[in-house]
Amino acid sequence: MHQGNHSSLHNFILLGFSDHPNLEKILSGVVTIFYLITLLGNTAIILASLLESQLHTPMYFFLRNLSFLDLCFTTSVVPQMLVNLWGPEKTISFVGCVIQLYVYMWLGSTECLLLAVMSYDRFTAICKPLHYLVIMNPHLCVKMIIMIWSISLANSILLCTLTLNLPRCGNNLLDHFLCELPAMVKLACVDTTAVEMSVFALGIVFVLTPLILILISYGYIAKTVLRMKSKAGQRKAVNTCGSHLTVVSIFYGTVIYMYLQPGNSASKDQGKFLNLFYTIMTPSFNPFIYTLRNKDMKDALKKLMRIHHDSAKKRDMKA
């Protein structure tokens, strides 16, 4: 135990993609591009939906939360990752690693629950349209958001604290590009079966349970859409739900493959690249998925661009 405690005084070394040094510079460029897309796209969605009064609805309230979540998620990983990709030092301080571990787990758990809440919102809008605004009132929406952020925080505190209490016996080589829970568990110099089973059990709760609720919601939605007599109504429902289903498919497909496999059957490099896709690229896709088929959002973004253009013209005239 003395050795395990002593290891906490040192920085962690993030091996990342050091096995492929020629790939690091290419990866840094790709990560930078996707990070900028994530920042611009999600910030635009937040601003556009706030400025356009027509988008002050429960659907866009949850979408703003998803965009904010994606901004925080990538920002918790990318800056440190870029420093390590470019520099000879592949280290992260113990405090920095602990913060990243807790935040990463917290935000990942929150996204699972948020996507389930968004599916319930779509279920209510399509299956109970006359009562939609009464059921999904602002008070309930805020309560839902507070609840999912709070439950996810509790999950993060529990699992990350269990992991950090494992003795590491001086091990500080993290075979990953971020301080992630499974990679941290592998540093332990004792039997980690209990912690791994806890992670797997809570993974079932936070990943599969929301996914089941999403599938149930869309089962009812599909039933309602098929009964619609109006083709225009069917198209509108499909377009609205199609964006959310696409995000759910990408997110859950990657997460289930990475985390809900006892013994972590994915290869080392395969796991890293899947995690890179899930952490860096997926948040950059969401703005496109939610805007390409959404006329209201496209109109709001055009309005935001006009406001920005007019402001720039006024500044130029004053200069």
**Among candidates 172, 112, 138, which has minimal Cα distance to 59?**
138
What pLDDT was estimated at residue 171? 84
Per-residue pLDDT at 3: 42
Q: Is 197 left (phi over 0), alpha (psi -120 to 50) or beta?
A: alpha
Predicted confidence (pLDDT) at residue 1 exceeds the cutoff of 60: no
The pLDDT, as a whole number, for residue 268 is 61
Looking at per-residue confidence, does 88 or 157 come out higher? 157
Structural domains of the chain ordered from first start: 2-312 (1.20.1070.10)
pLDDT, mean of residues 96-120: 93
Give dist(CA 228, CA 219) in Å, integer. 15
Question: With 80 as the cut, is the pLDDT of residue 164 above it?
Answer: yes
Instruction: Give the confidence band of 201 by pLDDT, cuts at 50, 70, 90.
Output: confident
Helix (H) or strand (E) holding 14: strand 12-14
* Percentage, residues of the chain above pLDDT 70: 89
Residue with the bigger pLDDT between 319 and 115: it is 115
Average pLDDT over residues 173-199: 87
* For the ranges 131-145, 183-197, 233-247, the one whose mean pLDDT is highest: 131-145
pLDDT at 212: 92
CA distance 184 to 88: 22
Q: In angstroms, rounded to a whole number, what is the distance separating the alpha carbons of residues 147 and 187?
A: 33
Strands 91-92 and 12-14: antiparallel
Is the pTM for the entire model greater than 0.95? no
More confident residue, 22 or 164: 164
State how far the alpha carbon of 140 is from the alpha carbons of 11, 59, 145, in Å. Answer: 44, 13, 9
